[in-house]
Amino acid sequence: MAAGSNDRFAALRPRGAGRAFTLVELLVVIAIIAVLISILLPALGRVRRTAQTVACLANLRQIGMASAQYTAENKGYIVPAGYSTLLNPGVTQNETWAQILIAARYLPNPGISFNDSLKPHPRSVFFCPAGVLDELNSALPISPIDGRLSRGRFQGGWTRTDSHTNATPSGDGVLTTARIYVHNWYYINGSLNTPNITGWTAPLPCKWIPGNLGSAGAPIWDWSLNRMSRLKRTSELVFVADGMVWQGDRDANFITGRHGDTRSVKTAQTNVLFFDGHAATFPRNMLPQNTTPSNGNTSEFKLSGPALTAKYPSPIWRTDQF
């Protein structure tokens, strides 16, 4: 009776019940999963890098729109690379272009602070999504794909006395002793000393004003800002790009290739904003570099306008390339 009962229950069990995978079958499954992962991971990496590039281009366009507002409200002048005050000739940096746009409320600054403990903020329009939330030290980059250029350049300086913002410790809306700090992952096509009267620096479109006063206190730099109406071929003239703050004439490696395949200058890419407001992606090897990787004095921006155009037909960087 018991034997018959066991046979009856055995018939009710599904066929193959209790059969386990063999070791060979498990190894085959693991191998298939590993192959699929090896195929999918590079594709996922490319998708992530593409998304970062698109988000970076959106940042640049937003900076372009803010700069256009600045120009419209300032008699057609383009935003300077930076600003210093003659009241304190010893100060070489009061505001950078990023701080100017923030102080005048053309752009928000989620990381606004009044102390040196400010950390980079991922929601800042000046943060490139392909960058690293870390601060760049003062060392010069040795190449356009130097990993240090993925960090943000810390900028802090005494702001102008004006009523454009109420972000002061006292909340009175007047920036006299307050500081605006910002980490910036973008380069503006200008320089601290461009151009001077003797013309030895590259004539880049965005100038630092009033510039260096000279050893005897006499001004040696051309303080006049460019108006948008003076610029030609604005759809080809670079305004902002991936990189470090300014001074490409000092070191072309400040313009970084942080998009694409960053293992080589030939495969790395750089996002560029133009004066007409559009942004595009360029192979990094199509943009000026240094003739000697570790020497900031060998920037190809120091070539003459025609020579730079002959070597890099597009885009345009200097105002004498027109």
DSSP secondary structure, 228-282, as one string: GGG---TTTBEEEEEBSBS-TTT-GGGB---EE-TTSTTTEEEEEEETTS-EEEE
Report the range of poorest mean pLDDT among 89-103, 158-172, 244-258.
158-172
Confidence at residue 164, expressed as pLDDT on a 0 to 100 scale: 34
3-state helix, strand, coil in the chain (%, to 5): 30, 20, 50
If one compares 269 and 40, the residue with the highest pLDDT of the two is: 269
Confidence at residue 91, expressed as pLDDT on a 0 to 100 scale: 46
Q: Is residue 89 pLDDT above 50, yes or no?
A: no
User: In 3D, which of 25, 17, 104, 119 has the Cα closest to residue 69?
Assistant: 104
Q: Report how far residue 83's alpha carbon sits from residue 207's, in angstroms, rounded to the nearest whole number.
A: 9
Q: Average pLDDT in the 70-90 region?
A: 77
CB atoms within 10 A of CB 41: 10
Q: For residue 237, what are its two tokens? A: 């003239």
Report the range of poorest mean pLDDT among 92-106, 227-241, 272-286.
92-106
Angle among Cα 106, 111, 117 to the nearest 5 degrees reads 140
Confidence at residue 66, expressed as pLDDT on a 0 to 100 scale: 96
Confidence at residue 190, expressed as pLDDT on a 0 to 100 scale: 84
Confidence at residue 92, expressed as pLDDT on a 0 to 100 scale: 46
Model confidence at 198, pLDDT cuts 50, 70, 90, reads very low
Give the count of alpha carbons within 13 A of 137, CB side only. 4
235-256 pLDDT, tens per residue? 999 999 998 766 666 778 888 8
6-42 pLDDT, tens per residue? 555 555 555 555 567 788 888 888 888 888 887 777 7
Q: Average pLDDT in the 269-293 region?
A: 91
For the chain, the distance separating the N- and C-terminal CA atoms, rounded to the nearest angstrom, is 104
Confidence at residue 248, expressed as pLDDT on a 0 to 100 scale: 64
Q: Report how far residue 277's alpha carbon sits from residue 53's, in angstroms, rounded to the nearest whole number.
A: 17
Confidence at residue 154, expressed as pLDDT on a 0 to 100 scale: 57
Q: Is residue 51 pLDDT above 60, yes or no?
A: yes
Q: Is the dihedral of CA 297, 298, 300, 306 positive or negative?
A: positive
Confidence at residue 203, expressed as pLDDT on a 0 to 100 scale: 81
Give me the percent of the chain exceeding a pLDDT of 90: 22
Q: Report how far residue 267's alpha carbon sits from residue 285's, in angstroms, rounded to the nearest whole number.
A: 8
Confidence at residue 177, expressed as pLDDT on a 0 to 100 scale: 42
Q: Is residue 45 pLDDT above 80, yes or no?
A: no
Confidence at residue 197, expressed as pLDDT on a 0 to 100 scale: 43
Q: Residue 316: CB partners within 8 Å, gap ≥ 6?
A: 233, 236, 237, 238, 309, 322
**Contact present, 290 and 252 (Cβ < 8 Å):** yes
102-158 pLDDT, tens per residue? 888 899 876 555 444 456 677 789 888 988 776 665 556 677 777 766 666 656 544
